[in-house]
Amino acid sequence: MYRLLFFFLLFSLPIEASSTQDPKELPEACLFVPPKGWGAADLSEFPEGLKAMVVGKGKGPYPPSINLWIEPYLGTQKNYMKSIKEICHADKEEFRDLGEIKTEAGTALLCQVDRRTKWGNERQLHALIVRYDKAYLLTAAALKDEFADHYAEFFKAIRSMNINKGVYEQITSLDRRCKLQAEVLKVKQNEESLDAFVAYIDDHFSDMGSAWKTHLLEKITP
């Protein structure tokens, strides 16, 4: 989880589009507004948990960056943040709890980590939200000597962090939502086949779109 983020930030990646799918259509997707003029990095060679990365221009070979990491997580925000702190202490990195920050998605926990790299001392900001059994971690990083130059745009990006509604929340009708949950329960209890469930979705929820359907099936199938 968190340890991998440090590795990703050690490289200036090629800047190009990383996805052909519009994240605004995906349930539970996390979005943020990157600083103006920053480019998207190619994530094709990296683990699935790294969902987005944008890179700016620094004064040297180590550019400022912001990345988004999402992973399954069944604990609380405080416990996840505690694990970050423990990893930092184990690696002899300086951890600072910055409390809470208001984002478009709600209240996130914020921390600062200072660490050494071969390019110099680095400072990272981590904004964390746990929701839908997932940890959403938005990380902004730059060399410590250059951090003040990007302070305002880092915090603006963090505050823009937003999370789409879940598959059930996107159904505005309470009656339709309850009926869907009842069908999902049948599948989970092996009272209905997956093929029959897919046919039900196609008949009754075609208006929700293909991205919503795909996400729903991913949640209920192993």
How big is the chain by its Cα radius of gyration, in Å?
20
Stretch 32-45: mean pLDDT: 88
pLDDT digits (tens, 9 = 90+) for 113-164: 999 988 889 999 999 999 999 999 999 999 999 999 999 999 999 999 999 9
| Threshold 0.75, pTM exceeds | yes
Residue 21: pLDDT band (50, 70, 90) is low
Residues 163, 167, 168, 170, CA torsion sign: positive
CA distances from 200 to 65, 101, 193, 222 (A): 44, 42, 11, 19
Which pLDDT does position 118 carry in this prediction?
A: 87
Q: What is the 8-class DSSP label of residue 42?
A: P
H/E stretch holding 81: helix 77-90
pLDDT digits (tens, 9 = 90+) for 159-171: 999 999 998 999 9
Phi, psi of 94 (to 5 degrees): -85, 120
Whole-number percent of the chain with pLDDT over 70: 88
- pLDDT beyond 90 at 48: no
Stretch 186-201: mean pLDDT: 91
- pLDDT beyond 80 at 23: no
- pLDDT beyond 80 at 12: no
Of 181, 165, 117, 168, the closest CA to residue 143 belongs to: 117
Q: What CA–CA distance (Å, rounded) separates 64 from 78? A: 27
Stretch 43-52: mean pLDDT: 85
Q: Where are the domains of the chain?
A: 2-163, 174-220
Cβ 158 vs Cβ 32: under 8 Å: yes
Torsion of CA 129, 87, 139, 23, to 10 degrees: -50
CA distances from 2 to 5, 80, 190 (A): 6, 9, 37
Residues 21, 25, 28, 29, CA torsion sign: positive
CA angle 161-166-170, nearest 5°?
A: 110
- pLDDT beyond 80 at 18: no
CATH fold, domain 2-163, is: Protein Transport Mog1p; Chain A (3.40.1000)
